[in-house]
Structure 1
């Protein structure tokens, strides 16, 4: 999501991953063996929740201070103070985080770990962002396959992340879409996600994880109207409708393809952390760590060499980084919460892995 488009993009509308539960040591070792010897690549599609550097420098947003202040210590194209969703999935899979598509020629030696095609600000359909939507992102992978950059074996032994975090819905609202027609539009978005999942499968990917929408009504850009005190239930109900449709669609696809798709339940994991933030050492659950001094400015805004944003003292104590995105601490808390769902374990051990 591009920062200068905050009023238009909703990069983040409406688990992880998993080592087995304690006591299942033998299966843990076997899962690790599978990860090390068979899973060789991670491919990512989507928006700023997955983007690790595809947006261009010089356009602000994820490439300006104080982004990246926690990791790697400077702006590096991630929409956070540090690591994002893709990094934590790669960590679980014991893979290096896949290189951004934009850097594939500069970092050719890293292609072997997979590739990240996600661009902040994009959706499954066109948004106000000029970056490629998910259909075009999948085109990029298809082109690399035709160019023999990746083989059938590479695709078969990979996991693909599909991150859809709400830009389509924000763009719908920003272009005067009606609340009455919102359910119909949500249906069209989920239908397009389904089309994308089928297409990725046909490219030869056997394992896919797709995220459910996080609680849009709890994002700081929404809760600012209540001084960051409460979530917007109307938005969250729309998110639940999206997630219900996605669950139905994935269930049907899995009946046809041996449970090869798993959903990351970001809604429940976000809400669990937000409702029990102190357990995760989160002091500020809804208030962002970095925000503009007024509604005219965003995190990182600078005018005439004067900072127009405020930065909290301890990003590690905040769940949200800016108006839309979690901090690294926030993502880590979500990751820790999602481990108990065994979703990635189910993905790895589903019939047809090899």
Structure 2
């Protein structure tokens, strides 16, 4: 990993700054007057609200869900995640997780969440459905007439790819030379996925930019949680630059400004600069951390003894664990994104 970082640094560093400049001018066509009544969600743990099987260690295990709803509920946080805040902004309940669609029928009217934690645009190290398969699920739901064409026309999609493809690339010893083409491949497939969702009848597609990967606690732990890894942030910058270009092209092709980037990278960085809310002390330090080399938040030994610690005040942490924001963190990100959302929908 260190060798890959060193080889990529000079290339991605420049593109990172280019991405920041381009972010100001691309993807800003307005969508005035659109009032969605449903949300359809695709992607990973940043937006998953309960699709992961309960047998899997993580979002269904303590201490996840500590803040909301007070017990593990399938969210990779101590509480609410990005999906919940977008639903709040739209004025509807958070869409039902796909795996619960036959149990909570009354909630189908708010849309459906097809996201699975740990997944990517392509297959990752987890066995959960990748984004293409998630869209297959969506297409099948449409064929079953759960949603009418009118329902789809009044809906929006949230499409999240927060970095699992890249962690998988590194884990399987992907070469430094192949990193740039792989990022291009990921963005190209993500673009095809968004176009497919739009083609199925969803009117508006929101796609978050890649967050600053070098600011996640799994990276900043090596720096005592004091600063971000700019080499990894450069990777995010290159991904986001390509995404901006792809979205601009899609909007030119559709002529209806259907695709909008949510600047997750900028929202994270703004929050770090402002140290989150007034309650947040060190925004780079997670609340829940594993004890020992191979443990993580939620880990227990064979006797059920906890192999993790939880901070006294989750509301004072931007990050919940090594990768995911806390509810307070997502609240801060939502606050940073809200002006853009208001610009689009008001």
TM-score using structure 2 length: 0.88
Superposed displacement of residue 278, structure 1: 5.6
Does 1:264 pair with 2:265?
no
Residues 261 and 276 (structure 1), Cα distance of their counterparts in 2 relative to 1, 3 Å cut: same
CA RMSD of aligned residues (A): 1.4
Aligned equivalents of 1:278 and 1:72: distance in 2?
Answer: 22
Superposed displacement of residue 345, structure 1: 3.4
Q: Which has the higher contact order (CA 8 A, sep 6+)?
A: 1
Contact 2:212/2:233 (CA < 8 Å) preserved in 1?
A: yes
Contact 2:276/2:332 (CA < 8 Å) preserved in 1?
A: no
Superposed displacement of residue 134, structure 1: 0.3
Aligned equivalents of 1:78 and 1:315: distance in 2?
Answer: 15
Aligned equivalents of 2:278 and 2:96: distance in 1?
Answer: 30
Query: What does 1:1-354 align with in structure 2 at a 5 Å threshold?
Result: 35=35, 39-257=36-254, 258-277=256-275, 279-303=277-301, 304-340=303-339, 342-343=340-341, 345-346=343-344, 348=345
Aligned equivalents of 2:304 and 2:79: distance in 1?
Answer: 24
The runs of at least 4 aligned residues of structure 1 exceeding 6 Å deviation read: none
Superposed displacement of residue 305, structure 1: 2.4
For structure 2, which runs of at least 5 residues remain unmatched after alignment? 1-15, 17-31
Number of residues paired by the alignment?
Answer: 314
For structure 1, which runs of at least 5 residues remain unmatched after alignment? 1-13, 15-29, 350-354
Contact 2:62/2:298 (CA < 8 Å) preserved in 1?
A: yes
Contact 1:273/1:280 (CA < 8 Å) preserved in 2?
A: no
Superposed displacement of residue 108, structure 1: 1.3
Contact 1:54/1:102 (CA < 8 Å) preserved in 2?
A: yes
Aligned equivalents of 2:154 and 2:65: distance in 1?
Answer: 31
Contact 2:276/2:329 (CA < 8 Å) preserved in 1?
A: no
Aligned equivalents of 1:295 and 1:338: distance in 2?
Answer: 36
Contact 1:160/1:205 (CA < 8 Å) preserved in 2?
A: yes
TM-score using structure 1 length: 0.86
Aligned equivalents of 1:256 and 1:217: distance in 2?
Answer: 34
Contact 2:121/2:132 (CA < 8 Å) preserved in 1?
A: yes
Aligned equivalents of 1:201 and 1:345: distance in 2?
Answer: 21
What residue is the counterpart of 1:8 in the other structure? none
